[in-house]
């Protein structure tokens, strides 16, 4: 309570930093707009698991499943986008 009201303000730097750089996130978003088959995967659409595998293979960075979904929100990608565009 030494800081009073100022101690209650939101401080920058909360939470874990993303491990992919801004450029890598742009590359990933571009990759996810293509078919997984374009990258040699035996799948028609991207899944969270497959996205994690692609990140590991491409950038040598491992994400937990929950972190992959957070990353997808951050780059404004939805796994449903692909199924909607296929209709």
12-30 pLDDT, tens digit per residue, is 655 555 689 999 999 999 9
Alpha-carbon gap, residue 47 to 85, rounded angstroms: 16
Question: Is the pLDDT reported for residue 3 higher than 60?
Answer: yes
Closest CA to 87 of 48, 47, 50, 45: 45
Entry field: residues in the chain: 87
The answer on pLDDT for 82 being more than 70 is no
pLDDT 10s digits, 19-72? 899 999 999 999 999 999 999 999 999 999 999 999 999 999 999 988 999 999
Positions of E strands within 1-87: none
Which band of pLDDT confidence, cut at 50, 70 and 90, is reported for residue 10? Answer: low
| Domain residue ranges of the chain, discontinuous segments joined by + | 19-86
pLDDT of residue 79: 73
Q: Is the dihedral of CA 66, 81, 43, 56 positive or negative?
A: negative
- The contacts of residue 4 (CB under 8 Å, 6+ apart) are none
Cα torsion angle, 39, 41, 47, 52, sign: negative
């Amino acid at each position: 309570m030494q800081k009073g009201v100022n101690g209650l303000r939101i401080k920058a730097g909360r939470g874990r930093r993303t491990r992919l750089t801004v450029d890598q996130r742009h590359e990933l978003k571009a990759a996810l707009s293509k078919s997984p088959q374009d990258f040699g995967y035996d799948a028609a659409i991207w899944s969270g698991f497959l996205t994690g595998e692609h990140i590991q293979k491409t950038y040598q960075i491992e994400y937990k499943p929950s972190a992959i979904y957070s990353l997808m929100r951050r780059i404004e990608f939805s796994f449903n986008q692909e199924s909607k565009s296929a209709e």
